[in-house]
Structure 1
């Protein structure tokens, strides 16, 4: 038996803001709050330990230095890449330049706190 990813932890200055953003991006709901201000979001009805990993937005005042060494890739489930890009930008994502050239098939974006993520081209089936 192998391990599987159950949650991703993202340090942030404003867990409330990022929880709202990532909940809209992923179709997640809030599933818990910690006394330290951290907020956990995940798929509706599944919670922690379900088939998809949850996202823990952990309150931190540590400054971020440079590009994240790990980032999230997302794929649209119900629209093409261009329509999903418009939706993500309307939610507060910004385009980001991490050195990619114009020939790549994905869009590099940043969430409201500047954490990079990529919108890939392929549309996938929802769970």
Structure 2
């Protein structure tokens, strides 16, 4: 059997507003939104590989309309936000667990709630406790 390199992955979150949600999660995680390569976007449109309707302007910058991503710290997966036409209708089958030290958890919870997260529950198992939250589009995540 041939030797292959290990697979890598990114986490993709379906949403209605990829750029707004990427901004929210960048703030929540303390990461950055990937910068847009406006020259590349313009060249793709000029060459006929994309349409003007594939683009939009977000915070004064030309961006791809369908998605936005975060720049992860070294060793972390990229997080991509993709526009989908349908609204969220059920609980996520996959969610992010944000980890904070026990002493820092209350401050992170307060910051996330002030930024627009909604607390939907709390859980614990043995010595481990977490808070279940949703982002502004209703995607569940936990703060542990």
1:75 to 85, 88, 99: 99
Q: Going by fraction, where is strand more abundant, 1 or 2?
A: 2
1:36: how far off? 3.9
1:27-106 matches, within 5 Å, as: 27-32=30-35, 35-43=64-72, 50-76=74-100, 80-97=104-121, 103=124, 105-106=129-130
1:32: how far off? 4.8
Moved over 2 A (4+): 1-5, 32-37
Structure 2 unaligned regions, length at least 5: 37-62
Q: How many correspondences in the alignment?
A: 111
Alignment TM-score, normalising by the size of structure 2: 0.67
Distance 1:22 1:106 in 2: 19
1:82: how far off? 0.9
1:87: how far off? 0.8
Root-mean-square deviation (CA, aligned residues, Å) is: 2.3
Distance 1:13 1:3 in 2: 29
